[in-house]
Structure 1
């Protein structure tokens, strides 16, 4: 069977709730390999909710549909405060990336409580800002940034990530609306452990199955190299 845009592969999926230090309940889902323990964990941070971003944004949803089965990864997705999806609506209201610090912390506390191994942050657009600003937790092994706009995240946040010392991978679309590869290389040059990967002809939203496959393969290349490259059929 060819793996297509709509393919959902077997996994143990469970609805979850996260509880923030400022008293909110966030809704989400954890997807685990069906028959084996995971070798690593993706903590997904979705795009801007005021522009339609949510835990079901397509790249994150497809990661949860495929990577537990194909790469033995746990995939944790959740709606940040005030964000709605088919799973439900998280309490609270959008806070421009500031109050969301508690949402990131709640996700990492959940990872620790469930003994999920080797967490990597997977941020997309607005989610990359949350990763850079609030993801510098000793538990975190590294971060993968999809279409980082570097708007809310400042040079000071990049410098703090340099000091943090964990790997950083930025996947930058050639035709991105906000930050393109040449400028991304300049901005991220202050983080020596950052790798900027330019993706030809891709756009900010990674629309199209070829671009989704590139993203998922680049994720797996870093998080579980033994499973790279991903198969195109099962």
Structure 2
């Protein structure tokens, strides 16, 4: 069976709730390898909710559908405050990336409390702003930024990572709507250890199976490179269309 589109591979999946320090309930899902413990965890931060972003935004949904089975990587997805998806609506209201600092903290705390290993932040678009602004304050392995617009995250927020040795991987689409590779090279030049990867033919939303595979490959390459190359065919247990 070819691995593409909404194919969901076997995993242990659990509907979860996060509680923020300001008393909100955030809905989410935890996906872990079907057998054994994960080699690492992805704490995912979705695109802008006022533009349709949520925990089911397709790259994050496909990461949760595929990576526990293909790479032994666990995936935590959740709706930030005020965001709704088929899983449900998180309490509160969108705060433009300010109080969402508490949402990120609740997700990282959940991973730590569960004893899950090696959490990485994976932000997409708006989610990269949260990772850049607030990720340094938490015990994470590193950050992966997909299509960073650098709207809410300032140059000072970026430069603050200069003295932080944790890995930072930045995927910048060639035809991004907000920040393209040449500009990204300049904006991230203050973080010498950042690995900036221009993606030929890429666009902000990473549409299409080719772009999905490219993004998931880069994520796995940063987090658990021994799992590469990712298979494109599934020969294991039961899988189904999401």
Q: Compute the TM-score of the two structures, normalised by the length of structure 1.
A: 0.99
Deviations 1:78-129 (A, max 9, x none): 0000000000000000000000000000001101100110000000000000
Deviation at 1:138, TM superposition (A): 4.2
**Larger relative contact order (C-alpha < 8 A, sep ≥ 6)?**
2
In structure 1, the partner of 2:157 is 157
Matches of 1:127 and 1:138, distance apart in 2: 16
What is the correspondence of 1:11-30 to structure 2 with a 5 Å cutoff? 11-30=11-30
* Other structure's SS at 1:161 match: coil
- Structure 2: 5+ residue stretches without partners: 235-242
What is the correspondence of 1:68-79 to structure 2 with a 5 Å cutoff? 68-79=68-79
In structure 2, the partner of 1:115 is 115
Deviations 1:4-63 (A, max 9, x none): 112100000000000000110000000000011000000000000000000000000000
What is the correspondence of 1:50-89 to structure 2 with a 5 Å cutoff? 50-89=50-89
In structure 2, the partner of 1:48 is 48
* Other structure's SS at 1:151 match: coil
Matches of 1:138 and 1:203, distance apart in 2: 30
Give the conservation status (yes or no) of the 8 Å contact 2:45–2:127. Answer: yes
- Structure 1 segments (4+ residues) deviating >4 Å: none
* Other structure's SS at 2:34 match: coil
Q: Is 1:100 aligned to residue 92 of structure 2? A: no
Distance 1:75 1:171, change over 3 A: same
Q: Is 1:199 aligned to residue 199 of structure 2? A: yes
In structure 1, the partner of 2:187 is 187
In structure 2, the partner of 1:131 is 131
Matches of 2:47 and 2:211, distance apart in 1: 17
**Stretch deviating more after TM superposition (154-163 or 46-55):** 154-163
Deviation at 1:164, TM superposition (A): 2.6
Matches of 1:166 and 1:94, distance apart in 2: 29
In structure 2, the partner of 1:230 is 230
Q: Compute the TM-score of the two structures, normalised by the length of structure 2.
A: 0.95
Matches of 1:136 and 1:223, distance apart in 2: 18
Deviation at 1:158, TM superposition (A): 1.1
- Give the aligned length: 234
Matches of 1:106 and 1:138, distance apart in 2: 11
